[in-house]
Every structure is written in C-alpha cells, then in structure tokens.
Amino acid sequence: MTPRKEERLRRVGGTAWRGASQKPERVGHKAPAPKRPAEPAVKKRPAGPALRTRPQTVDQAEPHAKPRMRWSMVLAAMGPGLIAALAGTDAGGIATYSNAGAMFGFGLLWTVPVMCFLLVVVQETAARMGCVTGKGFASLIREQFGVRWSAVAMLSLLVSNTMVTLSEFAGVASGMSLFGVPPYVSVPVAAIAVWLLTMSGSYKRIEKVLLAISCIFVAYVIAGVMVGPDWGEALVDTFVPQVQMSPEYLSLLVALTGTTIAPWMIFLAQSNVVDKNVGTEEIPYQRIDTCTGAVLASVISWFIILATGATLAGSGLVVDDAATAASALAPIVGDYAEALFGLGLVGASLLAACVLPGITASAICEAFGWEHGADHGWSEAPIYCGIVTAVIVLSAVVVLVPNVDLFGVMMAAQVVNGVLLPVLMVYMVKIASDKRVMGPYRNGRVWTGVTWVTIVLIVILTLIMFALQLMGY
C-alpha cells in the first residue's frame, strides 16, 4: 500500500492493518538503486512487536520457518484475557450462579461449557483486533461507522457501566457485612482504593494488582469441595443438558448468558491488549491467554453452582445477592464456607469495580479522540480523569442512600446490556471480517459463521428476557 493510499484512507476515516505499510512497493515504483533492502529499513516499523510473516533475507531464516512457541512469551502475554474474563464473575454474576444452583441444583451446569465457548469467541476476536490495529474497539467503531453511531454506543455504555459499578460497590457492602463491617465504612474505603488504583499512572501496576485480586476466586473452589457434592451426578449434568421450559428456568438461562458476556468485556479485552502494546506476532500467545481466562472463569462459575446446588437446592430460597447465598451456607456447611463465599464476593466486586470506571472512560475518550489512559494525569486527560471520578463517586454515593432499590438498578443495567451487546457484536464481526482493516488476520468463514450464530442466539435470549419481564418474571 503506497503512502498516498494510506493518507487517503486516513482522510475518509479508514483503518489499515498495522502490517499494510510494510508491503513492498508496486512494480512501477522506481527504486533508487538495485540494492538489497538494508536492515535499518526493516527496523522502521510501527510501535509494538514486529510482524514476522516471512523472513527478511535468506540468511536470516528458512523460507517456511515459524517462530517457536516459548513458555516465557506465554507467561509474559498472560494478563489481558485473564482479567477480562475473571472481571465478568462479579457481584451480579455470583448472585446469578448462586440462584441457578439454589433453584435447579445441578440442572444448569451444562450451560457452563457452552458459555465458555461463546466467551472465547468474543474475547479472542476482540484481542486479535487490538493486536492487528493497535486501536481500541471504540476508536474502530468511530472510524468504520461514524461519530453518530459511536456516540449512541458510548452513551449506552456509560449508563450501563455506571449501573454495574454501582452493583459492585453494593457487592462490597454485602460481602463486608458478613464480617461485621458496616457499609458506611466499607464502601468509602473501597471507592478510595479503586480511585487510587485507577489513577495510579501505570498499566503494569494495575494489571499486577488485578491479577493478585483474582487469586481470591480460589475461595469458591474450596467452598465447592467443602460441601461434599455428588461428583458423578455433577459431571453428568455438566455434559448432558436438562432443558426445562418453565419461565424461571428460561429467565435464569438468559441471566447466565448476560452475566458471562457483557458489552464492557469487549472493550476491556481489546483495550488491555493495546495498553500492553501487543502486536501481531503475539496473537498465538494472546489466544492462550484468552482461552485460559475463559476456562478459569468457567471453572469458578461451575463451582459456585455446584456449591449452592448441593446445599440449597430444594430449599425454596431465592438468592437476590451473593451475601444471601453465603449466609444460607453457614448452617449447612459451617462458618468457614460462609466466610469463603463472602471473601470471594468482596474480591470479585473489587476486581470489577477497579476495571469498569477506567474502561468506560477510555472507551468514551477514544471514541471522540480525547487523551486517555492510566498514565495521563488531570492536566493531560481531564475528561478521562473526570469520567473515572464521576462514575466511582456516583456509584458509591447511591449505594449508601437508604432504601435504594439496588436490585431494580441491576435489572435496568441488564436491559441496557441486552440491547447493547448484539449491536456491538455486529460491529465487531464486521470489523474483524474486513480485509482492509485486518489484513491476513481477518476472520475466516468458519469463525465469522460462529460469531453470527452467537449474535443470533444472544438476540433470541434478549427477546425472551424482555418477554419474561413483561409477564412479571
């Protein structure tokens, strides 16, 4: 692609994949001399890992040699996919998984591997787009679909993410109340800690802290083992679906889908890759990271359903929040299970609360070309810092308001997410299938087909959700 053509693409708002400028000149271009390409020219590449689609000279590598997979590179790439997937197991997600176990026992365990596959499809596509373009999802939406559609998407994302952040602080309050800490102490402390981390000025520091918080999810695995479930029955129900046509069952099925794949997770997966300055050469490593995160998140959700299904099924208990499930476990299994469940709730809520304000502000600023990022202060990125602060303060204040309907707020966020997710996924599949944007890394036919099937499935489940809400379920 010639420099003139690249300039034309920029003027019309197009995006060229990051390897496009490295193609050889056309035949009609007159080279200054019959010299072989010098090595310095090879080094002048865009920021991030260099493309290694083919060797530069005969002496450097075999014609069809492929770079070997190195475990050091795999470990270095870990982070973005893990954080994006595990952050989805937040306070609302834990409540949904707990309710699924309490109402239907092991009957919904079969949804876990299905949701895991759908999560891999979405997260891998988003991470690959970030590796190839070096841009976040919001920026690509603006360039490919215009400012108006981008503005509508960003407004919906802001409303939805603020509501979800609010539910995360509610989760912190509920979890800490199990240990005797009142909300007027736990919520302000959590809000200050989240704000300080988000504004810390270092993506690497944020990533390390979030990965450390993620380790607390092992509490749910321990709690699941402590309840002593029937492992054989659980494994059979995991791979043999038991579908029911009751409104309660369908409502929970929709809720499980919504809590596994949320709109903000697409922005987070792609933004994390861009912030880490990952290029096309590391796509295989990012796929390992994405799959690992999806599998770990699914294992955690499986153990939550297992623990509540083995102890609370048939009790008639309706779990409105994870703290209710934790309290119900105490007389059956013991105080340790309650403490582990509560500890997991606090850690999960903090993880999501640390992620949501930053990704919301980054997406909005990216969509409109404003400075953003954890490494920018108030003087460089006032809008980014202002949005982060506003989302955290508003969410924490609303949680402390007496008699506020937090469950209603969570349901409203679910409705917004249900409408926004299919639209964002259509954007995603169109961008990921565009050769001009993705080059040789665009979606293949099979992957595109799988993505469209996922979109159709989510639309059907969203319509079912609206129908059930109108019927009063």
Position 272 scores a pLDDT of: 77
Spatial separation of the C-alpha atoms in residues 270 and 128, rounded to whole Å? 8
Spatial separation of the C-alpha atoms in residues 412 and 229, rounded to whole Å? 35
Domain ranges of the chain: 77-309+316-470
Spatial separation of the C-alpha atoms in residues 327 and 315, rounded to whole Å? 14
State both tokens at 213: 């918080």
Contacts of 84 (CB under 8 A, 6+ apart): 123, 265, 268, 269, 272, 293
Residue whose token pair is 């153990």: 303
Nearest to 292 by CA among 238, 355, 211: 211
> Residue 383, class by beta-carbon neighbours within 10 Å (0-12 exposed, 13-18 middle, 19+ buried)?
middle
Spatial separation of the C-alpha atoms in residues 15 and 8, rounded to whole Å? 10
For residue range 137-159, what is the model confidence (pLDDT) as tens digits? Answer: 888 988 888 888 888 888 888 88
Contacts of 72 (CB under 8 A, 6+ apart): none
Position 347 scores a pLDDT of: 82
Helices and strands, counts by H and E, the chain: 21, 0
Rounding to the nearest 10 degrees, give the CA dihedral for residues 338, 344, 345, 350: 150
Position 8 scores a pLDDT of: 45
Contact present, 247 and 473 (Cβ < 8 Å): yes
Residue whose token pair is 């990125």: 381
Nearest to 300 by CA among 353, 222, 212, 352: 222
Task: Tell me which CATH code domain 77-309+316-470 carries.
Answer: 1.20.1740.10
Contact present, 362 and 271 (Cβ < 8 Å): yes
Kindly report the backbone phi and psi dihedral angles of residue 464, in degrees, each rounded to the nearest multiple of 5, phi listed first.
Answer: -60, -40
Distance of CA 430 to the CA centre of its chain: 19
Q: What is the mean pLDDT of each run of 10 residues along the chain (473 residues)?
A: 49 49 44 49 41 35 48 59 71 81 88 89 88 88 86 85 86 83 90 86 68 75 82 90 80 80 84 78 80 87 88 69 63 65 81 86 87 76 90 91 72 71 87 88 87 85 76 69
State both tokens at 402: 């007496």
Distance of CA 138 to the CA centre of its chain: 14
Give the CA count within 13 Å in the CB-facing half-sphere of 34. Answer: 0
For residue range 213-271, what is the model confidence (pLDDT) as tens digits? Answer: 777 778 778 878 887 888 999 999 999 888 887 777 887 887 788 778 888 888 888 88
Position 333 scores a pLDDT of: 56
Angstrom CA distances, 324 to 12, 102, 171, 330, stand at: 54, 11, 11, 10
- The DSSP symbol for 30 reads P
Spatial separation of the C-alpha atoms in residues 131 and 122, rounded to whole Å? 15
> Residue 370, class by beta-carbon neighbours within 10 Å (0-12 exposed, 13-18 middle, 19+ buried)?
middle
Angstrom CA distances, 232 to 226, 237, 282, 393, stand at: 16, 9, 40, 47
